[in-house]
């Protein structure tokens, strides 16, 4: 009976209506596939990245290993956000294309990074309109105190809250200034604050001689200013395990022929207040043309089982197959 009714309905349709209905059905079928979050197993090639000279690094930072990573997959690369679990045994790395990599971390007998294993990549669940126009551009993520995960996006500027990255998310209200900003001027750095709040820094949106930053408490956005220091731009952020510090990655781009320099900076969490003009302190500078002069965008900090606090950093290679992805780690003292 159902088959006969569908056949009669199709027969009554004009060719134009039939094609429109078919196109709409195919579109929503693609959205459903996207939102099912299907996993792809990856064979990630890993080699040890030796410790480079660290001439412009605070004595508070000690090298804890580095890896050069690559994989033959269109979904591997462009890493812009990072979460490391409490044991330091597994990473979740967000790409610019709204995919997330999950992989195990393996350490050698001395406790430094050795390799990765059991890698998979999955797509985030995003809105149908984003799938249709391919405006993914996920830029940063953080886990809040209630366990939910905040992801920031550019191009279609917004923040989404996920119970877990393999589940459907919900879109948060935007701060007014970001709604109509240009495609690449959105938020690249997000990290959690006490009280289930988060701190966000815009890449290029100006305010009072610096860049716009916000605190969101779940209901309202409050504005503060992140310094515009000689064209350095915040690209990632993480909060220390004890909640006292916020560490950020910054980059400065010198054109395609020269490349990037990057640095790690530190804020006292208690200075991140509405209306403040922030004053981060430089902890490390990876200069132009040096081994670590790369586009570091992803950062995560944890307290390791041995009691050390580690900062993990990951590069965004912009999906350039000629550039490997670096994952490095430092122990940091107070």
The most distant pair of C-alpha atoms in the chain lies apart, rounded to whole Å, by 78
- Higher per-residue pLDDT: 133 or 140: 140
pLDDT attached to residue 29: 40
Q: Would you report the helix, strand and coil content of the chain in percent, each value rounded to 5?
A: 15, 45, 40
pLDDT attached to residue 1: 43
Name which of 65-69, 119-123, 176-180, 229-233 the model is least confident about.
176-180
Identify whether the C-beta of residue 199 lies closer than 8 Å to the C-beta of residue 153. no
Mean pLDDT of 237-254: 96
Identify whether the C-beta of residue 310 lies closer than 8 Å to the C-beta of residue 330. yes
Distances (CA, A) of 223 to 140, 211, 274: 19, 10, 6
pLDDT attached to residue 315: 97
Exposure pattern of 280-294 as b/e (b: 16+ CB <10 Å)? beebbbbeeebebbb
Exposure pattern of 159-187 as b/e (b: 16+ CB <10 Å)? bbbbeebeeebeebebbebbeebeeebbb
What's the token pair of residue 327?
């994952």
Rounded to whole angstroms, how far apart are CA atoms 14 and 16?
5
Architecture of domain 39-332: 6 Propeller (2.120)
Helices (H) and strands (E) in the chain, counts: 4, 22
What's the token pair of residue 312?
């993990």
pLDDT attached to residue 133: 44
When the pLDDT of each residue in the chain is averaged and rounded to a whole number, the result is 87
Rounded to whole angstroms, how far apart are CA atoms 106 and 213?
36
Percent of the chain surpassing pLDDT 90: 70
Identify whether the C-beta of residue 197 lies closer than 8 Å to the C-beta of residue 218. yes
pLDDT attached to residue 30: 40
Q: Is the pLDDT of residue 10 over 90?
A: no
Residue 137, C-beta contacts closer than 8 angstroms, at least 6 positions apart: 96, 97, 98, 153, 154, 155, 156
Name which of 87-96, 140-149, 173-182, 324-333 the model is least confident about.
173-182
> In this predicted model, what pLDDT tens digit does every residue of 28-76 receive, in sequence order?
344 444 444 478 999 999 999 999 999 899 999 999 999 999 999 999 9
Which band of pLDDT confidence, cut at 50, 70 and 90, is reported for residue 126?
Answer: confident
pLDDT attached to residue 155: 81
pTM as predicted: 0.87
Identify whether the C-beta of residue 189 lies closer than 8 Å to the C-beta of residue 248. yes
Task: Tell me the H-state helices in the chain.
Answer: 2-12, 15-35, 128-133, 176-179
For tokens 């591997």, the residue is: 76
Q: Give the residues across from 301 on adjacent strands.
A: 311
The count of C-alpha atoms lying within 13 angstroms of the C-alpha of 319, restricted to the half-sphere facing its C-beta, is 10
Q: Is the pLDDT of residue 15 over 70?
A: no
Name which of 105-109, 126-130, 284-288 the model is least confident about.
126-130
Which band of pLDDT confidence, cut at 50, 70 and 90, is reported for residue 129?
Answer: low
Task: Tell me the H-state helices in 123-175.
Answer: 128-133
> In this predicted model, what pLDDT tens digit does every residue of 192-244 receive, in sequence order?
999 999 999 998 787 888 999 999 999 999 999 999 888 899 999 999 999 99
Name which of 49-63, 136-150, 203-217, 308-322 the model is least confident about.
203-217
Q: Is the pLDDT of residue 12 over 80?
A: no
């Amino acid at each position: 009976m159902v088959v006969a009714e569908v056949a009669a309905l199709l027969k009554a349709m004009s060719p134009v209506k039939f094609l429109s209905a078919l196109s709409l059905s195919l579109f929503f079928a693609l959205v459903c596939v996207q939102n099912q979050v299907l996993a792809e197993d990856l064979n990630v090639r890993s080699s040890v990245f030796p410790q480079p000279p660290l001439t412009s690094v605070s004595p508070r930072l000690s090298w804890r290993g580095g890896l050069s990573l690559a994989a033959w997959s269109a979904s591997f690369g462009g890493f812009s956000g990072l979460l490391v679990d409490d044991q330091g045994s597994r990473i979740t790395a967000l790409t610019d294309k709204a995919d997330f990599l999950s992989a195990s971390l393996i350490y050698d007998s001395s406790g430094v990074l050795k390799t990765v294993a059991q890698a998979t990549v999955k797509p985030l669940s995003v809105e149908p309109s984003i799938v249709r126009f391919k405006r993914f551009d996920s830029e940063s993520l953080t886990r809040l105190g209630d366990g939910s995960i905040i992801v920031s996006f550019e191009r279609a500027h917004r923040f989404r809250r996920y119970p877990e990255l393999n589940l459907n998310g919900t879109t948060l209200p935007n701060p007014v200034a970001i709604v109509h900003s240009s495609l690449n001027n959105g938020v690249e750095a997000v990290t959690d604050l006490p009280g289930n709040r988060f701190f966000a820094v815009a890449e290029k949106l100006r305010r009072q001689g610096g860049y716009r930053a916000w605190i969101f408490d779940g209901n309202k956005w409050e504005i503060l200013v992140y310094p515009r220091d000689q064209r350095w731009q915040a690209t990632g952020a993480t909060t220390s395990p004890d909640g006292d510090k916020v560490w950020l990655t910054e980059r400065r781009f010198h054109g395609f022929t020269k490349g990037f320099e990057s640095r790690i900076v530190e804020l006292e969490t208690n200075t991140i207040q509405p209306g403040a003009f922030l004053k981060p302190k430089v902890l490390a500078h990876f200069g132009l043309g040096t081994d670590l002069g790369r586009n570091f965008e992803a950062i995560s900090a944890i307290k390791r089982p041995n009691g050390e606090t580690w900062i993990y950093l990951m590069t965004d290679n912009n999906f350039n197959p000629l550039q490997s992805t670096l994952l490095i780690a430092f122990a940091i003292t107070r």
